[in-house]
Amino acid sequence: MKQPITYELLHICKQTGARRGIIHTPHGDIQTPIFMPVGTQATVKSMTPEELKQEVKAQIILSNTYHLYLRPGHKLVEEAGGLHEFMRWDRPILTDCGGFQVFSLADLRTISEDGVEFKSHLDGSKHMFTPEKVMEIENSLGADIIMSFDECCPYPSTYEYTKDSMERTTRWAKRCIAAHKKQDKQGLFGIVQGGMYKDLREKSAKDLVALDFPGYAVGGLSVGEPKELMCEILEYTTQFLPGNKPRYLMGVGTPDYLLEAVIRGIDMCDCVLPTRIARNGTAMTWSGKVVVRNATYERDFGPLDPECDCYTCKNHTRAYIRHLVKANEILGIRLLSIHNLRFLTKLMERVREEIENDNLGTFIQEFYKRYGYTK
């Protein structure tokens, strides 16, 4: 059987070890490293698919199993012809497994070997996610890349708890492989867990690699731990992942985290950050964060980011965007979302170029001088 998801390594940056590659998927190729916009509820917040292509130049988007299962329901999406058809996005899609969401429900869920029982955040109704159920949902949604059901440990967690959880995640990964019904159409990724414990990360990675997934995610990072610790654990973990499969760091979206991930061998990242901060009136620019809501920008008739090529920056001023944000106008959110998403996809375009030129380390140092670097 032909694998639906394959990875082609093009080049390794001599300065940093970052990987330049291509992920081949049933809905087209993805140039990596890549930032993936998140469309939790079958829509990247405020954006049309057309804008995602033309303005943001997104190659792949994410959507969420937990949210779509609850609303509108995965069977409805399947009836619509799958998620691509339902939301009219004809490029690759990745669906999260819902693990992060159900574990975030805290008091509303109970974990057992079988799976997780939880109450819906929408109406309090009871539901059960097992590896088999999650595969059923992800098969119905029909994304190109689907994630196996995992537990994401909170930070901090004890060694004992993290070990049990990681081992269960591996057992669930096996059950996911067995339950996955569209192996020729959807590539199932394993998720490495193990918290902040190196030996657990090593064990998790090796056990999953033995299961021969077409790709691997590193989960359970960027969950509140110090940045240095994240970098250390990530760097330690990626060495155990095979070079001929894509690697995805889940839930990372600030420019500096993206860059730190890429130089540790990560190919894919996602985060809701760019659209979330847009809703608060904040922009990422090549000169750092701009809180356009602030009074400083009241009479600033220049673009959000003079170095950006997006619709927002080509057409509108900071003063106008600030007015829209202050007046709670949807267009303000839209203009900031377009810009922030484009900023990250453009950053990754640049990263790919710099990898090809073996110059990514130099680029990153210069980027931090202007953008800033958060501890």
Catalytic residue numbers read 96, 270
Instruction: Provide the 8-state DSSP code for 91.
Output: S
Question: If you write DSSP's letter for every residue of 343-355 in order, what string do you get?
Answer: HHHHHHHHHHHHH
Answer yes or no: are the C-beta atoms of 194 and 220 closer than 8 Å: yes
The smaller minimum CB distance to a second copy, of residues 12 and 80, is found at 80
Q: Which amino acid is at 194?
A: G
**Dihedral over Cα of 221, 129, 83, 338: its sign:** negative
Answer yes or no: are the C-beta atoms of 134 and 68 closer than 8 Å: no
The smaller minimum CB distance to a second copy, of residues 109 and 326, is found at 326
Instruction: Provide the 8-state DSSP code for 33.
Output: S
The pairing of strands 19-25 and 28-32 is antiparallel
CB of 279 to a second copy, least distance (A): 9
CB of 55 to a second copy, least distance (A): 10
Instruction: Provide the 8-state DSSP code for 90.
Output: -
Q: Which residues bind a second copy (CB under 8 A)?
A: 41-43, 45-50, 71-72, 76, 79-81, 86-88, 298-299, 301, 311, 315-317, 319-320, 322-324, 326-327, 329-331, 333-334
CB of 220 to a second copy, least distance (A): 28
The smaller minimum CB distance to a second copy, of residues 49 and 215, is found at 49
CB of 299 to a second copy, least distance (A): 6
The smaller minimum CB distance to a second copy, of residues 175 and 334, is found at 334
The smaller minimum CB distance to a second copy, of residues 14 and 71, is found at 71
Contacts with 227 (C-beta within 8 Å, 6 or more apart), sequence order: 257, 260, 374, 375
**Dihedral over Cα of 225, 227, 228, 232: its sign:** positive
Identify the three-state secondary structure at position 126: strand
CB of 340 to a second copy, least distance (A): 15
Round to whole Å and give the CA distance between 231 and 267: 15
